[in-house]
Amino acid sequence: MNRSKSLAATSKSITAMARKRSSKTTLIFFLLLSLLAFLSFLPVFASLPSLPSYSHSHDLHFHLPRHQRLHRRQKISVRKFEIAEDKFWKDGKPFQIIGGDLHYFRVLPEYWEDRLLRAKALGLNTVQTYIPWNLHETEAGKLVFEGIADLVSFLKLCQKLGLLVMLRAGPYICAEWDLGGFPAWLLSIHPDVRLRSSDPAYLQKVEGWWGVLLPKVAPLLYGNGGPIIMVQIENEFGSCGNDKAYLSHLVKLARGHLGEDIILYTTDGGSRETLEKGTIQGDGVFAAVDFTTGDNPWPIFKLQKQFNSPGKSPPLSSEFYTGWLTHWSEKMARTDADFTAAALEKIMLQNGSVVLYMAHGGTNFGFYNGANTGADESDYKPDLTSYDYDAPITESGDVDNAKFKAIRRVMGKFSSVSLPSVPPNNKKTGYGSIQLKRTAFLFDLLDEIDPLHIVEAESPTAMEYLNQMFGFVLYVSEYVAKTGGSKLVIPKVHDRAQVFISCSPEVNGGQVSYVGTLERWSNQAINLPNVKCVSSTSLFILVENMGRVNYGPYIFDRKGILSSVYVDGSVLKRWKMISIPFHNLNEVPKFNPVIQVASKFHKVSAGKKLEHKSVGVGGPSFYTGHFSIDTKTEVTDTYISLRGWGKGIAFVNEFNIGRYWPTSGPQCNLYIPAPILRQGENVLVIFELESPNPELMVDSVDQPDFTCGPGQASVHQNEDGKASASLLTPNPLGLRTF
């Protein structure tokens, strides 16, 4: 029985008996009763926190009836975030969520506090973040929660800064992140695991992941003294399927680890169809909505009510779009600041809650960018390295812009406290031109690789089955060329394949020639020239994983050559496969034969000029340059401009800062946060796939640039002098065959 109810019943019983006694006896009993009651409540008073609200309401409090004073005292002592009367309630008071997405995995840990303080200055009281499973479990059973994956430190920092947290635990997150946050090793399991379903094999992996994750965050729930007020189940499932058993299983798992008090929520598009498929009615799960910025929000919030229990539907737009994503070859997505702010105010004017997507976008460092598809899976659209998102806080943290100011003005009208002052933009420095030199040609490295590290099979093997999740795979085979040339067809390649051929070493020293590129989105046959080899011709296909699909029906997205390879209509057999994974954001490959050999070449080249067997300057090669920051100079953010280069990836001080592709655009410059840099010498390494800047020069500049594209692409000349759209010169490049 509740202690207050027990005491009240005892008091009534004693009072009834007291009426039968004399007035003197009654007075004695009353005094004794009052003393006992007072003493019995001393521990209660002692355990209550010291709250500011007591001081300004002290007189009113003690003029209330005793049972109301007791109820109020207990209510104040409970730390609780809940839903009632179609409102959010925080510690017994109505609360309007003014939130924004800010993803810890797109910001270096050294900058977490900087970005969170800028979010507070924007007017936010809540931060929403996804948890990408693939960042934390890079290999099956190998869990990572350090560095940029230190989720707990990020959550504690939010609390330290007075920000609440809405946690999007997945297991699927979308987020324009590789495979929607799923670890790519799920694609290597036989038989195929059905993602986002009740497939027992899939659920077993989810249970293992959440069995580690959720106990880590449970102590940080709001009711346990932490900042987490809500935890999301899955993400926009109504746009994917209708497996209610799967969603209910996730709820059961979450409740088992997090308890009954935490608010679990779903997010779905604001249509009846998506809400019917994606919500979990009857399990006490709050259904939130998202919709296009500029839509009339209130009919959608009215629809939202139909998918929540009576009184349990506070209006919440859990993804209010401040901008939009951008794919390679598109113009940079931009949205008007005043239009965005006006749409936001329409929600907040009627006490609606809102979460900006994004408040701060950040960067897709490493190989973690996602991709989308259009009409079919060949209509493939990979995302930029930058995840600026045209958010009010830019990729580098800048806030001196029209969108930040417009949104802050709206937020300020509804904030219960004065907004913090706006910090200045972080300083950025252009460190000047960086001269590079070619330190290794990819094909020069192959002779140095131990055959034990080369996988052989009758047919090409997907990247995931080679236990390689990111980067590149080199596929090697042989064919007999026909007079007049041959035709190469690969029906299914993910995502981009550069094709080279070579004769044996007895013919022209085994030089290799580029013959064309196959792209997932424009896959066409390639004509293989007759190079008059004495015997068979070696075929080299370098396939790049450009990011797995993160949304839609084609999310099950393996990489590499995924079909037979045909030369003149015949299936090509007997393949050799060499993994070229490189460093990713928070992992180092266990063994990378190509990079190991490239490192050796780099050390040799530091002392003397290498004489490569290759001819010309095009083709997949490693380039290295150095730049210094004076020991008396403050280290600040910078960008490296890749204008004039073709396509590839860049590393600064062994940190993978991402992909570049200025010939496709729109991104010209890659953002380099100051924590990656150091006073003294800094090392830039580029793996260029096509053709480098003729001067082998890269510029360190102090601002972003999203104006690159096909119109800015360099034009190469064929041997006959005609302009060509080819990405490589057709000059033969040296290589010895196996």
Contact 514, 728 (CB under 8 A): yes
Answer yes or no: are the C-beta atoms of 478 and 575 closer than 8 Å: no
For 442, phi then psi, to 5°, come to: -50, -45
Give the C-alpha separation, 281 to 482, whole Å: 65
Coil, helix or strand at residue 349: coil
Q: What is the DSSP string of 397-454?
A: ----SHHHHHHHHHHHHH-SSPPPPPPPPPPB---EEEEEEEEEEGGGGGGGS-GGGS
Q: Which of 502, 390, 401 is nearest to 442 (CA)?
A: 502
In whole angstroms, what is the distance from residue 533 CA to residue 531 CA? 6
Active site residue 82: no
Distances (CA, A) of 606 to 388, 592, 734: 37, 21, 22
CB 642 within 8 A of CB 660: yes
**Residue 251 φ/ψ, nearest 5 degrees:** -60, -45
- The CA-atom distances, in angstroms, between 424 and each of 113, 339, 693 are 14, 25, 35
Please say whether the beta carbons of 386 and 639 come within 8 A. Answer: no
CA gap 587, 589 in Å, rounded? 7
Residue 587 annotated in active site: no
d(CA 460, CA 572): 9
Residue 317's CB is within 10 A of a number of other CB atoms, namely: 30
What long-range pairs does 151-154 form, CB within 8 A, spacing at least 24?
A: 151/104, 151/216, 151/217, 152/216, 152/217, 152/220, 153/109, 153/112, 154/104, 154/109, 154/112, 154/129
First to last CA, the chain: 82
Residue 28 has phi, psi (to 5 degrees) of -65, -45
Catalytic residue among 319, 377, 544, 690: 319
How far apart, in whole angstroms, are the C-alpha atoms of residue 270 and residue 146? 37
Say which residues have a Cβ less than 8 Å from residue 391's Cβ, sequence separation at least 6: 322, 323, 356, 358, 359, 360, 361, 403
Q: Which of 137, 236, 395, 544 is catalytic?
A: 236
Q: Residue written as tokens 């810890």? A: 104
Q: Are 319 and 268 in contact (CB under 8 A)?
A: no
CA triple 473-476-478, angle to 5 deg = 160
Q: Where are the alpha helices (DSSP H) in 57-180?
A: 58-61, 66-77, 112-122, 133-136, 151-160
**Angle formed by the axes of helices 402-414 and 112-122, nearest 10°:** 60
- Spatial CA neighbour of 684 closest among 711, 660, 715: 660
Residues carrying an active site annotation: 236, 319
